[in-house]
Structure 1
Amino acid sequence: MEKKLNGILTLFLVFMVQLTFAQDKTVTGTVTDDTGLPLPGVNIIVKGTNSGTQTDFDGNYSISAQAQNTLVFSFIGFTKQEVVVGTQTTINVTLETDAAQLDEVVVTALGIERSEKSLGYGVSTVKSEELNEVRETNVLNALQGKTSGVNIQNQSGNVGGSTRITIRGISSLDGDVQPLFVVDGVPISNANIATGSRITGGFDFGNRAQDINPDDIASVTILKGASAAALYGSRAAGGVIIITTKRGKAGRAAFQASTSFRFDEPLILPDFQNEYVFGNQGEVDTDTPIRTNPGFPGWGPSITTLAGQTYTNVAGEVVPFEIFPGNVRNFYGTGATSINSFNVSGASEDGTDDYRLSLSYTDQEGIIPNSSLNRTNLGMNAGSTLTEKLKSRINVNYVRTNTVGTAAAGANDPNVLTNIINGLPRTTDFRLFEPEIDEFGNQLNAPGLQTNNPLFIARQNAAETNVERFFGNVQLEFLPVENLSIVGRAGYDSYLDRRFTKNRIGTLGRLQGRFTDDFIQSRQLTLDLIATYDWLLNEDFNITIIGGTQWNQRVVDRIGNSATNLVVPELYDPGNAENNSPFKAFSDRRIHGVFGDITLDYKGWAFLNATGRNDWSSTLPANNRSFFYPSVSASVILTDAFNIQSDLLSYLKVRGSWANVGGDTDPYRLDFTFNPLTGFFGQYGLGGNYPFNGNLAFSSDAVIANQDLKPENQENYEFGIEFGFFKNRLTIDATYYENFTSDQILQLPTPQSSGFSGFLTNIGQVSNKGFEVELGAKVIRSEDFSWDLNYNFTANRFNVDDLGDIPALNLATGFNGIAVRAVEGESLQLFGPRFRRVTGDDGEPIEDQILVGANGLRQVGQSDNLGDIFPDFIMGLTSTFKYKAFALTTTFDYREGGKMFSNTVGQLRRDGLAAETAVNGRADIVDSEAFILNEAGDAVPNTVAVSPQSYWQSFANASIVEGNVFDATFIKWRELSLTYTFPREVIENTFIKGARIGVQGRNLAIFNSDVPHVDPESSLGGAASNLQGIERGGVPSTRSFGMNLNINF
């Protein structure tokens, strides 16, 4: 009886379990993206059935299912996810972005959206999540290491300083070769206009791409080749950066707030020796005040030999000798940057009307005392379907930026770093420079050492710029008939840049004081009219035809005044200056273009595209003003063409393109003109103004104009192949390209006797040939853990193919005889005086045999090429680990090869301040790498010992550039972020819809660098100059540590 009862109970329990599993129950939950933001419109189906639903505006859903059922969550652009119901009644899901989705839509030229698989040329897209993983004040810096074919160089650690970007090398030898920037289909300015000479104390106030709010960006698409950029015309010779801003999504109003805060400190500072005091050849005159003591900052005796001895310091005090190891680091403060942003967005239920409003405020304090940047960004992006056939969109951005304390470039008196290392020994206590002025307003410094008090430069001579900018566009789209779209768009970009630089009375080199007011107003208007027609011929063929016209005008108006010899201190007014030199510059240029584009689509796996554009440029002669450039590209999806269905090979595409693009020149280079002179500049009371004694004065252009200029011509070939393996867990995109630019518009030198500096002409050809690879790997995928890798590689070889009858041409000259030179058959070279070499039997110097003089010291030899300024290759690696709600992302940037010259290193070595000058107790040195002539005149290994001071002052001689040229290879740890996304169940009973908190770091470390004391990425030239590979007194680059918080509600 008991056995029967147990059997009945067992049968009853089994029956109840089956009944429970067979019963429907309501499952609810929320679907979010990997940032915690709710996803509306996600499809949820019960696997194997027709039962399904979608998430609402807040990402919430409700569905009936049974315990044994599996729910499938899917959404365009995200990886599909399956969850077994089991005993759960609440299932919250986080969908991950599908980085390997190969058929995504990308924005191409003129804002045209195309399926990525249809493109016959290479593009790279960086999403907003990648840009803002570690917050940056300049969006270009956030792109470093994340895409192939792009070289991004942060010039220095200056607040508001410029960032240089080039795509697939430089396409022209004439100045600015940066890409065209386009925001929501409309070109905007990325100008980098310097005030003064970068070599002798000018100011780099940054490039205008920094005005773009990174929080407003949905994606950045980089059009690399001429085929990709051909529809933009001559302005796109350097490639195109297309920025698409965020829009509202369907649903109720969504609010998002984010805040980030970080600390900034110098990444690399000079490695000083901390043993030897000021003096000469190991001796010091302790009875002479340091203000007037002869000798050098670091070539005195060891501090260990001076116990109990005293000297007179910069303050006139008699004090014991003491080394201050951290004095330079203590001068540079710890910077702080906060970025706070807020936006509200939404759209109607059917998505026909949308809006997004944003506000962002950036507050940055630099590492140099009294340096800061404050920026306010306001943005609006709104669209509306006015009627069934008419749509509208408006995008408006307002930016206001104030920058104080931008450090001067070069090595003259206004430069802070120059005044720190020039003449200040290791016994310098920077506390003695505080305050920087006395009670009478005079500078407290060490005048005998011919250096300014660096705190005086930073606080009393702070440069300032105020920029107000407005850019945006208005667009109407008309749909007159089915498959026909006509878009009219007007874009406007305007900014006013008000700059003020000054030298207070008492500044060494500018003792009587000076100041400059500089006002730059830039205006750009772009009008587009574009018609698009989709024509479905049959079930196999589809044709898309695009035609349109574009009109662009760019006006730059610059006016200002430079004044010297102030009468009353600190009154920076033209009426208070003895000498005023007003200046004015104006340019107005226009381009009108017509274009056409046709794309043939065969069964969705074969694509052929052809474009043509004709431009008329106002900067070229009437007979050469019109120029036409075509392009052709094709792509085939082989896996679709041959119906390849394999887990191993998921995707295979081949593509190729050819394009021919023209380029114009700057305005007013066709006619010979005279310009009125307003004054002549002079220091120390010299100078004057015109009219002078009632007479006017005019000066001619320094460059001879050419009325027969032709447009530059660029021809581009590109071939690529794209793979997807293991269901696209592994993707590879490889590209080979060749780019030739002929009829370069260059300024060639003329004899000094002509009275002109040069003449303009079309001459020569340059080329870029390169190979790019982008690799994406989903290395690990499990329920709680994932690991993704993204790798990119770029190798570009630039070559000067032809310079006509000229073997070489100096593109940019510096100091001490150094220059950047174009040499036929070579890349761009550093050029300058080398060490003297042993002369061979053929009369030519022997490269590996440096010849010293009879005194054992190196000598000045011939000027020659010192190395290629461009890297051999660039690599980037981003790794992302995710475990449950945690995500760890890190990015490395590797650059191999290229040469750089550092004036800072040479100065440290010459003055005995660099750590390497103090090795081996400063025993005498034999230059064992060199040769010396014996009595017979034969070159034999050198055995002459010299003092360390003599050795380093000859090795780092200012007139011998070679001793300060280094291999610029480096690896930088660009980014690190660790974030935590709050689970839905933690915040479901609050007003918060999603939240994420994290810590972050940027430029954390530098490895594998052979450049001592300075960052190998530093450059004097700025973003728009060919004066690259040269460093002189730059502000140290910074490393950053901070945290950020994002909340959606």
Structure 2
Amino acid sequence: MRTIKLLGLLLMLLPISIFAQSTVSGTVVNDNGMPIPGVNILVKNTTKGTTTDFDGNYSIDLEKGETLSFSYIGYRTQDIVFNGNNTRINVSMVEDAEALKEVVVVGYGDQTVKSISGSVASVTEKDFNKGNIVTSESLIQGRVPGLSITKGGGPGSGSEITIRGGSSFNASNAPLIVLDGLPLNNETAAGTRSILSSINPNDIESFSVLKDASASAIYGIRAAGGVIIINTKKGRGELNVTLDVQRNVTKIDNSIDVLNASQFRTLVSDNFPDRLDELGEANTNWQDEIYRDAVSSDINLSARGALFGEIPTRLSLNRSDQQGLRRTSKFDRTTASLSINPRLFDDHLKVGLNANYSNVDNRFAAGVEGSAIAFDPTQPVRDPGSPYGGFFEFRDNDGSASSNVPRNPVAELLQTRNVSNADRFFGNLNLDYKFHFLPALSLVTNLGIDRTESGGAFSRPRTSALGVNAEQGEFIGNLSRYSQKRTNTSADAYFIFDDNYGDFGVKLTAGYSYQKFESESFTTGEILDPNAQGPRTTVADDVVFIGYFGRANLSFKEKYFINGSIRRDGVSKFNPEDRIEYFPSVSGAWQISEEDFLKDSQVISNLKVRAGWGQLGQQDISSTTDYLSRYQRGLSNQQYRFGPNAIVPLQPLYTNPNISWEILTEINLGLDFAFFDDRISGSVDVFERTADDLLSFVPVPDGANFSNQGFQNIGEFVSKGVEINLDYNVIRQDDLNWDVNYNFTAFDREITRLAFGQDIFVGGISGGTGNTIQVQREGEWPNSFFTYAQLYDQSGQPIEGAYADINGDGTIDDRDRYVSGNGQADMLMGFQSNLTYKNFDFNFNLRASIGGEIYNNVNSSRAQLGNLDLAAPNNLPVQVLETGFARTPDVILSDFYLEDASFLRMDNITLGYTLENFNKDSTSLRFWMGLQNAFIITDYSGIDPELGSGGIDNTIYPRGRTYLLGVNYNF
């Protein structure tokens, strides 16, 4: 009887428990009232959840007291408690640029900032550099510790990009760049300036820099230089149109200090008076003549919104016209991009379609700085009686152009037409399907293509003195054309399982990656020269990458994280027996600030420790078939005659069947922290990386192969370093905000093993024949300078040809050269400041490089009095007035020409003013002005200590100072 009563009571209570649960619905909109599709809606402390549809609507069952959490990338998360009465909950979400930092894109997916255990830096649009940004990498120059970006001086020129100083001798040290899931080819297409120059920087939304091996290992054999993931802007629900217009002028602010005409005449008179009659009457500054004030403009128009009211879409157009400082140099770019991101089947299928087109016109200006430095300043630019287009040229008695003399650099610029045009299409289709029967499981497919068709022409007229027909002894000019087609296709497919089991979080990724690079090129050869090689078509060997990868991200109570990955990679560059390798990684993190003893701290708002280990590969060498036995057909004018037949010979080429990739192993320890409600935040990373089996282009013993040099796997070096990043919100008020960032990197690198312990001489320099100034030596930095120790007199002046007898054998020879420095900085620093006061904004970027040396090859090869007595008297750098050096063969190997390369540079300064609600609500008009390359503080006597190639400065393209004006209209 008692059991029946109890059962009846339970049946009476059952309806009460059912009706206690209510169906809650609503609409989620942005601060402009537009619906937001795809908002994540979770019931806190449960596994229940849903997402908004295309119209921003949602519906979910709730019990009284439960909390709904609304989150969406780029917006502040909102929590709302259900009171049991109001079953209609509408939410207006507020955009928050800081929220973008909560999710960071990593290889094949994304992770929350909290769960990341490797060394990953994310830079979003809010923190990008301002100014005349022509190529995308300039957006983050100086913003990330451990990331070095050295920009070239030419318009649209590429940059030397390294992460943590690089990891190879002669293979590529550039990072892998992944654009919207498509890994790019680091080789520049014919007729283009860089792999990023055809991408509109205004289309970039964020960068993720994967610095250590545990973060990069998912990309296997291509990630030894680190990985930079670029994500472009996508469409959103609200309609927004932006027009950006900027105009700038760049002026030369530094040049090589050479003798003026008066000093030159005096020096010739004092040293070679018999040559005074060869001098002219002009007073020409040849460096002023080859440069100009470069006027440039950049226009960006973009629109984003919901196509047909439902499909998030973004369209952008860009036109950039950039003049170079060198006369005739220019870079013109036109781009169009389209992004469509619908969500289908109740948001179970996310579609991302990105299509980009660019057309780039280049005119390349010859590197005439060497001629401008050396050309006689007493001669005029133009000579009305000259047969060479009216330009002055040194001529022999018969009126023909002299040989072994500098050519008129202005004539070379104006009489040379080196132009190119490149069409590039790149894009990808991303499909992310969340299975209906198992929402925790997703299948992601990414298909990408990057195709460039480029071509160009090179020509000079007959009146140019720069080309000669050897048979007829007369100048005939130049004419040649070339073209190239390059295709990069990729296909990735991977599963992601992401679910929680109580306090445990599990995210598993497994997939397959395929990529193929194809290239075909054509050249006419020198059309005007009957003895030149004829037209030739070259089809490069296809390069194919195949990889299988897996990753596990495990968490417990959102406090303890373990991440591991492995990739099985293969590449067609190597012997079939050696082309497969495995690249593992493992890392972990502890979110200490989530522990009970810190959770309620008023001082520490975030504290996390990280540790990671991983291995990477490096396969980026110039030759893709060294493992094969190969033969090269001789040229048409290289023939042997056997009887009546002319035979074109076949020449065997270098082969190394054992060539393989480099292996890099890295350990990383990190600490992330934030204090006082995130007013002060930052990170510290300490790393050690060992690069083994280094690919080097080294000499081969005579008779051992079909070449005297080739690629071999030799050597090992170790890099160690520390990175610090600090963000400080100095002032946080309604009308006044001031944020600063400081980052610091310190390096130490050492070669620990070379083949047979033998030195490898590198770093070719001008002056003499076959001279090198650097060495790879065990126990030293890679590319260390290898010089004589200069001796000085009592007054501190260098004594020409006098060097220290270091080994004490009484003879000065190569055994007395010593390691005197290296061409890489010991420390890198960056400092950024962003200040807003009401409608005003002011920001600037500083960068510093400390330590490291630069070899002044301009002075070492040119600042010698003997150059006044060449076939035509050459002008000299003014340093010769201090040294009085005549001409000693070994003078170029003196450490006297090694200088401190440290500098402090102000990259950008901008000041702007914004008119809010310019002509209607939610519109704005911003006017701004800026200064780029504002100043540099350095002890280096040359033009720029940052632009020396590998630490060697030999007549580089200078960077000028740019003055900018711009306007931004947002409506």
TM-score, structure 1 length as denominator?
A: 0.75
Q: Would you say the 8 A contact 1:472–1:492 is kept in 2?
A: yes
2:372 is matched with 420
Secondary structure of residue in 2 paired with 1:824 = coil
| 1:747-804 deviation per Cα after TM superposition (whole angstroms, max 9, x unaligned) | 3312356552224433221222110000000111223212111011111222211113
1:593 is matched with 547
Distance in 2 (alpha carbons) for counterparts of 1:180 and 1:855: 45
* 2:451 is the counterpart of 1:454: no
Secondary structure of residue in 1 paired with 2:540 = strand
Secondary structure of residue in 2 paired with 1:1012 = coil
Further displaced range: 373-382 or 797-806: 797-806
The residue type paired with residue 212 of structure 2 is G
Structure 1: where are the runs of 5+ without partners? Answer: 1-29, 44-56, 58-72, 82-92, 196-204, 294-311, 315-322, 408-414, 564-573, 681-687, 839-847, 923-947, 1021-1027
> 1:388-467, aligned counterparts within 5 Å?
388=346, 389-407=348-366, 415-425=367-377, 427-428=378-379, 430=381, 432=382, 441=389, 443-447=391-395, 450-467=405-422
Q: Return the match for 2:913 from 958, 968, 980.
A: 980
Distance in 2 (alpha carbons) for counterparts of 1:751 and 1:224: 38
Further displaced range: 727-736 or 806-815: 806-815
Distance in 2 (alpha carbons) for counterparts of 1:356 and 1:898: 45
2:345 is matched with 387
* 2:487 is the counterpart of 1:523: yes
* 2:117 is the counterpart of 1:167: no
| 1:45-100 deviation per Cα after TM superposition (whole angstroms, max 9, x unaligned) | xxxxxxxxxxxx9xxxxxxxxxxxxxxx999757999xxxxxxxxxxx9999665x
Deviation at 1:650, TM superposition (A): 1.1
The residue type paired with residue 245 of structure 1 is T
Deviation at 1:429, TM superposition (A): 5.1
| 1:832-871 deviation per Cα after TM superposition (whole angstroms, max 9, x unaligned) | 5535669xxxxxxxxx997656999xx9853443421110
Secondary structure of residue in 1 paired with 2:299 = strand
Structure 1's 803 and 701: CA in aligned 2 closer, same or farther, altered over 3 A? Answer: farther
The residue type paired with residue 533 of structure 2 is N
Secondary structure of residue in 2 paired with 1:209 = coil
> 1:613-652, aligned counterparts within 5 Å?
613-642=567-596, 643-652=598-607
1:784 is matched with 735
Further displaced range: 734-743 or 139-148: 139-148
The residue type paired with residue 456 of structure 1 is A
1:484 is matched with 441
Secondary structure of residue in 1 paired with 2:899 = strand
Distance in 2 (alpha carbons) for counterparts of 1:38 and 1:976: 36
1:108 is matched with 106
2:230 is matched with 243
Q: Return the match for 2:300 from 341, 344, 347.
A: 341
Distance in 1 (alpha carbons) for counterparts of 2:289 and 2:764: 34
Secondary structure of residue in 1 paired with 2:677 = coil
Secondary structure of residue in 1 paired with 2:334 = strand
Q: Would you say the 8 A contact 1:443–1:453 is kept in 2?
A: yes
* 2:814 is the counterpart of 1:828: no
Q: Would you say the 8 A contact 2:328–2:365 is kept in 1?
A: no
Q: Would you say the 8 A contact 1:541–1:603 is kept in 2?
A: yes
* 2:567 is the counterpart of 1:580: no
Q: Would you say the 8 A contact 1:657–1:718 is kept in 2?
A: yes
Q: Would you say the 8 A contact 1:595–1:613 is kept in 2?
A: yes
Structure 1's 1046 and 760: CA in aligned 2 closer, same or farther, altered over 3 A? Answer: same
The residue type paired with residue 697 of structure 2 is Q
2:82 is matched with none
2:666 is matched with 716
Distance in 2 (alpha carbons) for counterparts of 1:369 and 1:712: 43
RMSD (Å) for aligned C-alpha atoms: 3.6
1:998 is matched with 928
Distance in 2 (alpha carbons) for counterparts of 1:1039 and 1:402: 24
2:615 is matched with 660
Structure 2: where are the runs of 5+ without partners? Answer: 1-28, 40-53, 55-69, 79-91, 396-401, 469-474, 805-810, 869-874
| 1:897-947 deviation per Cα after TM superposition (whole angstroms, max 9, x unaligned) | 2122233234563369677548xxx6xxxxxxxxxxxxxxxxxxxxxxxxx
| 1:98-142 deviation per Cα after TM superposition (whole angstroms, max 9, x unaligned) | 65x6961010012x1210111111111222243352131112223
Deviation at 1:219, TM superposition (A): 0.6
Aligned residues: 854
Q: Return the match for 2:450 from 490, 493, 501.
A: 493
Q: Between the two proteins, what is the percent identity of the paired residues?
A: 25
2:116 is matched with 119
2:243 is matched with 257
Structure 1's 855 and 897: CA in aligned 2 closer, same or farther, altered over 3 A? Answer: closer
Distance in 2 (alpha carbons) for counterparts of 1:716 and 1:760: 24
Q: Would you say the 8 A contact 1:443–1:506 is kept in 2?
A: no
Distance in 1 (alpha carbons) for counterparts of 2:943 and 2:607: 45
1:510 is matched with 467
Distance in 2 (alpha carbons) for counterparts of 1:1012 and 1:173: 28
Q: Would you say the 8 A contact 1:138–1:209 is kept in 2?
A: yes
Distance in 1 (alpha carbons) for counterparts of 2:778 and 2:190: 30
> 1:538-937, aligned counterparts within 5 Å?
538=502, 540-563=503-526, 574=527, 577-580=530-533, 582=535, 584=538, 586-642=540-596, 643-664=598-619, 666-679=623-636, 695-700=646-651, 702-703=653-654, 705-752=655-702, 756-816=707-767, 817-831=771-785, 834=788, 862=814, 863-906=817-860, 909-910=863-864, 916-917=878-879
Secondary structure of residue in 1 paired with 2:577 = helix
Structure 1's 1003 and 387: CA in aligned 2 closer, same or farther, altered over 3 A? Answer: same
* 2:310 is the counterpart of 1:357: no
Structure 1's 122 and 181: CA in aligned 2 closer, same or farther, altered over 3 A? Answer: same
Further displaced range: 765-774 or 801-810: 801-810
Secondary structure of residue in 2 paired with 1:277 = helix
Q: Would you say the 8 A contact 1:1000–1:1041 is kept in 2?
A: yes
| 1:235-279 deviation per Cα after TM superposition (whole angstroms, max 9, x unaligned) | 11111111111011112x321111111111123212345451325
Distance in 2 (alpha carbons) for counterparts of 1:867 and 1:658: 31
Q: Would you say the 8 A contact 1:271–1:915 is kept in 2?
A: yes
1:135 is matched with 132
Q: Would you say the 8 A contact 1:137–1:210 is kept in 2?
A: yes
Q: Would you say the 8 A contact 2:73–2:103 is kept in 1?
A: no
Q: Would you say the 8 A contact 1:720–1:735 is kept in 2?
A: yes
Deviation at 1:967, TM superposition (A): 1.5
1:147 is matched with 144
* 2:258 is the counterpart of 1:269: no
Secondary structure of residue in 2 paired with 1:140 = helix
Structure 1's 102 and 262: CA in aligned 2 closer, same or farther, altered over 3 A? Answer: closer
Q: Return the match for 2:954 from 1032, 1035, 1041.
A: 1032
Q: Would you say the 8 A contact 1:748–1:759 is kept in 2?
A: yes
Q: Would you say the 8 A contact 1:149–1:168 is kept in 2?
A: yes
Q: Would you say the 8 A contact 2:831–2:845 is kept in 1?
A: yes
Q: Relative contact order: is structure 1 or structure 2 higher (C-alpha 8 Å, sep ≥ 6)?
A: 1
Structure 1's 700 and 962: CA in aligned 2 closer, same or farther, altered over 3 A? Answer: farther
Distance in 2 (alpha carbons) for counterparts of 1:207 and 1:38: 42
Structure 1's 104 and 74: CA in aligned 2 closer, same or farther, altered over 3 A? Answer: closer
Q: Return the match for 2:327 from 355, 369, 376.
A: 369
Deviation at 1:226, TM superposition (A): 1.3
1:25 is matched with none
Deviation at 1:525, TM superposition (A): 0.9
Structure 1's 372 and 509: CA in aligned 2 closer, same or farther, altered over 3 A? Answer: closer
Deviation at 1:496, TM superposition (A): 2.2
Distance in 1 (alpha carbons) for counterparts of 2:553 and 2:640: 62
TM-score, structure 2 length as denominator?
A: 0.81
The residue type paired with residue 190 of structure 1 is N
* 2:207 is the counterpart of 1:220: yes
